Structures are given as C-alpha cells and as structure tokens.
Amino acid sequence: MASMSDLKLDYIEGKSGDEVSDRALPPPASHNTQRTGNIGSWRSHLNAIRAVVENNLDSALILEDDADWDVRIHDQMYDYAETVRVLTTPLAGTTNSYADPSYYDPSKGGQPEELIFGQLPKTVKPQVSPYGDDWDVLWIGHCGTEAPNINLADEEKAKKSHTIPRGRVIHYNDETVPQNHHLHVMEQERDPREIFPDHTRTTHHVMGQICSLVYAVSQRGARRILYEMGVKKFDGPYDIMLRDICEGVNDRPKGAVCLSVEPGIFNHHRPVGPSAYHSDISEHLAPPVEVAFTENIRYSARLALENYAVGSTELVDQWPDKIITSSSSSYAS
C-alpha cells in the first residue's frame, strides 16, 4: 500500500503490555492502574520515538498499523506544510511578527481572524523542514479535535484557549475532503460541518484531540515526548498524555507546538469482519463490518490495493459528491 502511494516505511514491531515489567514503567503506572493494552501502546510508541532521538532524525512520521490515506497524499501534505508554516513561522522580512498574533503569546489578544489558503502571506524560508522549523508535533491522523477559541460557551475550553495559539487556516475547495454529509467528526461546540461549506479542511493547534493514529515529530518534539512519557510520568493512555503535552496541562510544561488538521489526513481503516478486531486497547461493540471503509478518506489507498495488485489504476471514490436538486435537504456539491 505504501509503495502504491510512493511512500517508504520503516517498521517497528509493536509490543504487548504483558511483555513490559512494572519496573520499566514511569510513576505512577503499574499493571494495576493501566490496561495491558495501554501499556503495550505506550511501549510501542515510545520505541518509535526513541528511534527518532537515537538516530538524530530531523523529523519522522509515526503511523499505527490500521492507518489509511488518500492516494493523493503527496498533494495533501504539500498543502498542509504551507498551512503549518504560516501558523508557526515569522512573516517574510521579520524575525518575530506572525500571521497569527496569538502565536508568540496566547495569553494576549483576542480571537485572530482566520487565514485563507491560497491567500496566505509569505513567511521566512525554513532551514530544516518544509513544515517550518518551530514545531514539535503534527498530529494529522486522529479520532477528533477542536479548534482553540476564546469565545466558546464552554468556560473550561474557552479558558484553555487563552493558553494555546488560536490561529486557524481555512482551506476551501479541497477536493480530497468529502461533502459535509459524509464527514465524521468528534462532537464539539462548533461543528465544522455546520460552519464551513463542503470540501473544507482546516489547520489549527491541538486542543481536545484523541487517538494517536498518525503524527509527525520533530527532533525537539521527540526529545520532549521521550522525557515526559518515558521518564517523568505515565498516567494515562498514550494519546491522552500526548494531548496533555501539546496543551501543557496536567503537570506537563507549556510551550509544545502541536498542529492538527480537520478532517484528519489519515484515518482508521475498517476491514470486513468483527469490530472487536479494531482495537487492542478498548472494546468495540459495533456490529461486524460487511463492506470495508475508511471514514473521511475519498480515494482510499487500502481500498485501491485490489486493483493495484492486478495492474489497474482505477480508483473508487468512497464518498462521492451528491448532486442535489432544490428539493433536497443535503449539502450542495
């Protein structure tokens, strides 16, 4: 599947929590306080993070084994890189002026105006990464997220938003995004399906995010994660600890630069068969899957494998646009 998308992956063997001794766990974790699946997930992810640090890699993309993506992944990541740069890199000709005025000091100012993809200002040219040189985590495959916004009705979320950069890039007319009636997003106060037109993708800083399906780390970010989770403390599922690091809460220091994207560029693939097979950590009680699918991914790389195996380049749109009439209540294409 990776070769079909012109990607090359290095594989790291996952670990079962049963293989990990309590003595190897940072405080306060033990097999009495953490699920065996959580311990295995923690160990497996940290093995990948450790490899980034030990090999002194500038950055790396870490994928769980059920990840799926659109065959147009290179185009998507090219666009995403531009959105990350504009949210984290000084404007061209400056050293400390940003398109997002809340980036340098989130405690000051109000809710920034949203930035529009295709009309983004020029930024300082990065020296190391096409995604810019000032980020720790790019969390691009997940089960849900929420954009920081100080105007949220939820007082706790609004308060948290004062501690996180609040800039957001809106990418309209992204043909790789399904129409809104096809989209699956996490329940949130400001549902993007009700705010934005069809085929819209947004980039913003991480808040409330869950599922560590796919994320990139910089060398700086990998070192931070390895210390925070591998030495300092292990007090929950891996994705929740990653979120805490990104948000700087629950005794994690402020300052991590973590960007998200909604809908995610990667998502969980659901093959035909029992839903109980979908996770080694939590129990899935949904009915068996009769037709394989991947939410929010149009031209699925996994679903293209059958044709690819016989030399065909035919692709199937999982979530085709619905052409509607004036009497239909669905969204327009």
E-strand ranges in the chain read 59-63, 67-69, 115-116, 137-141, 168-171, 201-205, 214-218, 258-262, 266-270, 293-294
Residue keyed to tokens 């060398």: 219
- 226-252 pLDDT, tens digit each: 999 999 999 999 999 999 999 999 999
pLDDT band at 281 (very low <50, low <70, confident <90, very high): low
| 112 pLDDT more than 80 | yes
Helix (H) or strand (E) segment spanning residue 47 = helix 36-54
Tell me the domain boundaries of the chain. Answer: 7-267
pLDDT in tens, 78-102: 999 999 999 999 999 999 999 999 9
Note whether 246 and 139 are within 8 A (CB): yes
Question: CA-CA distance, 308 to 311, in Å (whole number)?
Answer: 5
Residues near 191 by beta carbon (within 8 Å), at least 6 away in sequence: 185
Q: What is the pLDDT of residue 328?
A: 42
Its pTM stands at 0.93
